[in-house]
Structure 1
């Protein structure tokens, strides 16, 4: 994966994160179970952290 590809993937994940976070806020206001959305956010956070490590490695190379 190139540096630009990693940066694009991070940007896409951040966009997904914001969208899901907004959906969760709406669901919470209606009293809907949000555990699935919360799990998705945790997974996105993990993926972003992993890609940030790859990006750091790519910058050092």
Structure 2
């Protein structure tokens, strides 16, 4: 992946993370199960870590 591709994916993941985090917070306030959203947040965090490692290797 190029630096621009990595940065673009990171930006998309960060936007998804913010949206999902908001959904989880809303669901929590209504006592709705949030396990699927929380799992997705962890997956996004892991992917962002990997992309950061790739970005560090490029620069």
TM interval, shorter chain, is: over 0.9
For these two proteins, the number of residue pairs brought into alignment is 59
Runs of 4+ in 1 over 6 A off after TM superposition: none
Query: Equivalences for 1:1-61 in 2 at 5 Å?
Result: 1-59=1-59
Which secondary structure does the structure 1 equivalent of 2:48 belong to?
Answer: helix
Please, what TM-score do these two structures have when normalized by structure 1? 0.95
* Gap runs ≥5 in structure 1: none
* Gap runs ≥5 in structure 2: none
